[in-house]
């Protein structure tokens, strides 16, 4: 199988590693606008050879892992170049805008809109991790618009690397992901900003910050080049989540101002339920397909 990975960062590089470990007779071609990323990917064994977009006519599978704003321009070009038996999968964190962009493309049937819920705060080829996708959910949108035989090929690959599948329409995906992913990144960035602005002595931050602060601000180390386009494309949903989050913060502040610490306790106790929710999600499960759009 000839697999082209476009974008050799954390997601693209990890996908390449997992394919090499899970499938026989796979050759990984790498495409990236940065030559240093291509060289690193070769040195690390993420890819077997460098390639260019004009080589895509020989591809059996294309995996697109680049910033979502760039995907809007690149995905139609990819579809122009691939053969009829190639499946093109993207890994973007927003889906509605991209799906609309290629909705009328003559090779729309070759495209599978995906979003693997996996990652770390690190970027670049050196951030690639073997097993990153195991037991993680991959959200697939508009599966009915992808040719059935290409769906099957993609699902076999997702199963091989240990992913669970959930089907969802693009609008629902973008709305839900604004709450469970995009908001947490904004919160982390702004917590980091607040501390940097108020704690001028960086040594104090280093010495006094505990594990709670480190885990909460971890996402603030994520790439602004990746996240700014995500916030832009999902602006409406992200602003809605921010309004609700700010409202909850103001409510919490008001309770403290009024010395209503019984209600402060109750608010936190009710929110402890999130622990049970996440514990349920974190249990290792076998590969499964969830026929659920909401």
**Pairwise CA distance, residues 131 & 21, whole Å:** 9
pLDDT greater than 60 at residue 282: no
d(Cα 131, Cα 58) in Å, to the nearest integer?
27
Percent of the chain at pLDDT above 70? Answer: 90
Does this model's pTM top 0.75? My answer is: yes
Report, as an integer, the average pLDDT of 141-146: 97
pLDDT digits (tens, 9 = 90+) for 231-255: 999 999 999 999 999 999 999 999 9
The answer to whether residue 285 scores a pLDDT higher than 50 is no
Mean local confidence (pLDDT), 199-221? 70
Percentage of the chain surpassing pLDDT 90? 77
pLDDT classification of 207: cutoffs 50, 70, 90: low
Strand ranges of the sheet holding 289-290, from the earlier edge strand across to the other edge? 49-50, 27-31, 2-6, 61-64, 87-90, 111-116, 137-141, 164-167, 289-290
Q: Tell me which of 105 and 292 has the higher pLDDT.
A: 105
Residue 108 has pLDDT above 70, yes or no: yes
| 158, 138 contact by CB (below 8 A) | yes
DSSP 96: H
pLDDT band at 215 (very low <50, low <70, confident <90, very high): confident
Domains of the chain as residue ranges with CATH:
2-168 (3.40.50.720), 173-282 (1.10.3660.10)
């Amino acid at each position: 199988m000839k697999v082209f990975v476009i974008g050799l960062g954390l997601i693209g590089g990890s996908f390449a590693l997992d394919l090499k470990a899970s499938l026989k007779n796979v050759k990984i071609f790498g495409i990236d606008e940065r030559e240093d990323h291509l060289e690193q990917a070769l040195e690390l064994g993420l890819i077997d050879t460098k390639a260019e977009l004009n080589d895509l006519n020989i591809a059996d599978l294309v995996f697109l892992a680049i910033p979502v704003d760039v995907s809007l321009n690149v995905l139609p070009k990819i579809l122009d170049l691939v053969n009829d038996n190639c499946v093109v999968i993207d890994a973007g964190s927003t889906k509605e805008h991209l799906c609309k962009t290629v909705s009328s493309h003559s090779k729309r049937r070759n495209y599978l809109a995906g979003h693997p819920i996996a990652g770390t705060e690190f970027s670049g080829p050196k951030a690639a991790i073997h097993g990153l996708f195991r037991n993680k959910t991959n959200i697939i949108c508009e599966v009915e618009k992808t040719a059935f035989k290409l769906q099957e090929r993609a699902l076999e690959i997702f199963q091989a690397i240990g992913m669970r599948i959930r089907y969802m329409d693009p609008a629902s995906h973008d709305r839900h992901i604004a709450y469970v992913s995009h908001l947490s990144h904004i919160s982390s960035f702004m917590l980091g900003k607040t501390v940097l602005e108020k704690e001028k002595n960086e040594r104090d931050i280093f010495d006094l910050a505990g594990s709670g602060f480190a885990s909460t601000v971890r996402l603030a180390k994520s790439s602004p080049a990746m996240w700014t386009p995500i916030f832009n494309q999902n602006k409406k949903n992200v602003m809605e989540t921010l309004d609700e989050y700010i409202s909850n913060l103001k409510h919490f502040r008001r309770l403290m101002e009024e010395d209503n610490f019984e209600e402060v306790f109750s608010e936190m106790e009710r929110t402890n339920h999130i622990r049970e929710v996440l514990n349920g999600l974190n249990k290792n499960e076998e590969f499964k397909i969830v026929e659920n759009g909401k």
